Structure 1
Amino acid sequence: MTTSQILRRIGQAVLVLLVTFTLAFIMLSALPGDAVSARYSSPDLGLSPEQIAQIRESYGADESLIAQYFSTLGGFLVGNFGYSVQTGTAVATQLAEALPGTLTLAILAFLLAAILALVISILATMDRFAWIKGIFQALPPFFVSLPSFWLGIILIQIVSFRLGWVPVIGTTPAQGLILPTITLSIPITAPLAQVLIRSIEEVKAQPFIAAVRARGAGEMWIFFRNIIRNALLPTLTIAGILFGELVGGAVVTEAVFGRAGLGQMTVNAVANRDMPVMLAIVVIAAAVYVLINLIVDLLYPVLDARLRRRERA
């Protein structure tokens, strides 16, 4: 990949983030009500109109929408996400505390999903396991139909309450990751396995596989040395997309299991109409999504020799 192509991809990623920020800002600004007024106009606080006006000025809520947009955008460019209307703390501080837990959950769920998808795909496409191929081919459509919040509730009821294998109260950090990781990984396993199964079947039909078989290579050697190796490349793209979606999916899963992370931040921000926090979460989730897909785009020519030959040609 040439330097101009890399710069173009980076420019496209920046443009996507800018559009995401703009749309999120417009949509959040269009919500009814004013978070500052809703938070500080309560009679229980006993604040005068002058004091409320000063608070609105400190948050920049008294400025025009255009001025707020460019002021907020400038702050985001330098890592200043503003201050939470509900707590008064810096949004960047809240994100620094919540994001590591969410990313840890997303990474573990992605690794588990990749392992499950690989096992399902192998058992669903190897002729040696023909008697169970139908069962494993039916697993991805079944997994994709399972909502993560419903799956999380079922796991809590069965694994924690009925079997008592994993507690949900007073857990260690490791125990607290088990059920959320499984819950988040199952829906991601489905598309990964579907793409990999289809890719394996396409590679098996390629002429070079017949040529390798004609040379006397064993079926297991052909499958793991030639078929799987080539079938994994198309799966790389969908894997990048799904990992970006995992950060958003972790928000729902964390809310179900009461984990501290972006999920809890999102629920609190929505309940309190805390626009600075909501805007920061949307942009951070989009940034992770765009960054992962940018890395996949840049790595694809490195991993696929056919693309390198095409570029040289």
Structure 2
Amino acid sequence: MIRYVAYRLAWAVAVIWAAFTVAFGVLYVLPSDPVSIAAGAAGSGTPVDAAAIAEMQQRYGLDKSVGEQYVVGLGNAVTGDFGRSIGTGQPVTEAIAAALPSTIQLALAALVLAVVFGGGLAILATYLRTSWLRTALLALPPLGVAVPTFWSGLILLDLFSFRLPIFPAFGDTGFTSLVLPAIALAIPTGAMIAQVLATSLIGTARQPFVDTARAKGASDLRVHVHHLLRLSSIPALTIAGVLVGDILAGAVVVETVFARNGLGRLTQTAVLNQDIPVVLAVVLFSALVFVLVNLVVDLIYPLIDPRVVVRAAPTNPVSTADRESSDV
């Protein structure tokens, strides 16, 4: 177990480092100058004092070589010091802390809706015996995955804010303003959960132990919920990291459509202004959330299937799971 956890921790550190490196490289190959953008020189046609530009470059360390900037930036990121925003001069950690609560509310609400409705749809569709209704329900997840988040957000705005003024269209004014953005963000996530879980439930239902459970007198509902759902949840857990990435990426679109001030809007503004400290901090935060979720999922695996830990040991040529199967 210790080796398993150590391996996953090393993988997490590698992912965070790779995210920082890729983001740093992409930002520094862009042709525009973040200092010029912040000073108002880019595209404005108004000359800006060269001394002011040089002073800003020195203040943010942009006068150093790319290699020096990378080493200094990586070292500061390890200590949690991301400096100040080039565009606003505000400390980056303060900017993220101010934007984070709204995004956390949106992400948690969307995740709860996605799990409840996506998981419920998969369980219901695979439990029903009416073929046409089952087929119709199983056709919904691919449709939900294919629908762009911005399109579903605009449809929800048109229906429930403009035509039927039930929910506010824009802003972050409480629970009612959270409903439509959460639904728009939950649609593709819930559809993915439903698609993966339904496929897994259908495959697991063909296993011989299902017939054995029914032969012992277990009802269809007990077999479906108690036996099939536990084993079929492993593939759904596997996509947890992907779902977190989708939610964080979708938050940028949803917060823009619904004019919510959150991490997504902060990221959009930072990218447009090439605000390097803010973008790097957001990328590292997103990568950290991603690896933490995946680490938790990896640690949950052994609770569902203890053989996962044994398979993770590369020096053991014959796992306990293999010996168990051979004994059977």
The TM-score by the shorter chain falls in which range? over 0.9
> Does residue 3 of structure 2 align to residue 15 of structure 1?
no
> Does residue 304 of structure 2 align to residue 286 of structure 1?
no
Q: Which amino acid aligns with 1:60?
A: G
The residue aligned with 1:106 is: 107
Q: Which amino acid aligns with 2:214?
A: R
CA distance in 2, matches of 1:179, 1:207: 44
Q: Please report the TM-score for the alignment, with normalisation by the length of structure 2.
A: 0.89
Q: Which secondary structure does the structure 2 equivalent of 1:167 belong to?
A: coil
CA distance in 2, matches of 1:45, 1:248: 35
- Worse overlay, 204-213 or 265-274: 265-274
- Worse overlay, 159-168 or 37-46: 37-46
The residue aligned with 1:40 is: 39
- Displacement of 1:171: 6.0
Contact persistence 1:248–1:285 (CA under 8 A): no
The aligned runs of 1:68-217 (5 Å cut-off) are 68-169=69-170, 172-217=173-218
CA distance in 2, matches of 1:115, 1:97: 29
Q: Which amino acid aligns with 2:37?
A: A
Contact persistence 1:152–1:179 (CA under 8 A): yes
Q: Which amino acid aligns with 2:84?
A: Y
Contact persistence 1:245–1:289 (CA under 8 A): no
Contact persistence 2:172–2:260 (CA under 8 A): no
The residue aligned with 2:323 is: none
- Worse overlay, 181-190 or 286-295: 286-295
CA distance in 2, matches of 1:262, 1:283: 13
CA distance in 2, matches of 1:15, 1:193: 31
> In the superposition, relative to structure 1, how do residues 18 and 124 fare at CA in structure 2: closer, same or farther (>3 Å)?
same
CA distance in 2, matches of 1:268, 1:308: 43
Contact persistence 1:144–1:187 (CA under 8 A): yes
- Worse overlay, 225-234 or 9-18: 225-234
- Displacement of 1:169: 4.6
- Worse overlay, 184-193 or 96-105: 96-105
Q: Which secondary structure does the structure 2 equivalent of 1:100 belong to?
A: helix
- Displacement of 1:47: 6.0
The residue aligned with 2:316 is: none
> In the superposition, relative to structure 1, how do residues 247 and 41 fare at CA in structure 2: closer, same or farther (>3 Å)?
closer
Q: Which secondary structure does the structure 1 equivalent of 2:239 belong to?
A: helix
Q: Which amino acid aligns with 2:224?
A: F
Q: Please report the TM-score for the alignment, with normalisation by the length of structure 1.
A: 0.93
Q: Which amino acid aligns with 2:246?
A: E
> In the superposition, relative to structure 1, how do residues 263 and 154 fare at CA in structure 2: closer, same or farther (>3 Å)?
same
Contact persistence 2:240–2:293 (CA under 8 A): no
- Displacement of 1:55: 2.0
The residue aligned with 1:5 is: 4
- Worse overlay, 49-58 or 178-187: 49-58
CA distance in 2, matches of 1:202, 1:295: 26
Q: Which secondary structure does the structure 2 equivalent of 1:295 belong to?
A: helix
Q: Which secondary structure does the structure 1 equivalent of 2:109 belong to?
A: helix
Q: Which amino acid aligns with 1:106?
A: A
Q: Which sections of structure 2, spanning at least 5 residues, go unmatched?
A: 314-318, 321-328
CA distance in 2, matches of 1:292, 1:69: 27
The residue aligned with 1:64 is: 65
The residue aligned with 2:308 is: 307
Cα deviation digits, residues 152-193 of structure 1 (max 9, x gap): 011001111001111225763111210010000000112211
Q: Which has the higher helix share?
A: 1
Cα deviation digits, residues 235-277 of structure 1 (max 9, x gap): 1111332123311221111111110111211221122221211
CA distance in 2, matches of 1:90, 1:44: 29
The residue aligned with 1:54 is: 55
> In the superposition, relative to structure 1, how do residues 31 and 115 fare at CA in structure 2: closer, same or farther (>3 Å)?
same
Q: Which amino acid aligns with 2:33?
A: D
Contact persistence 2:76–2:82 (CA under 8 A): yes
> In the superposition, relative to structure 1, how do residues 90 and 152 fare at CA in structure 2: closer, same or farther (>3 Å)?
same
CA distance in 1, matches of 2:170, 2:33: 37
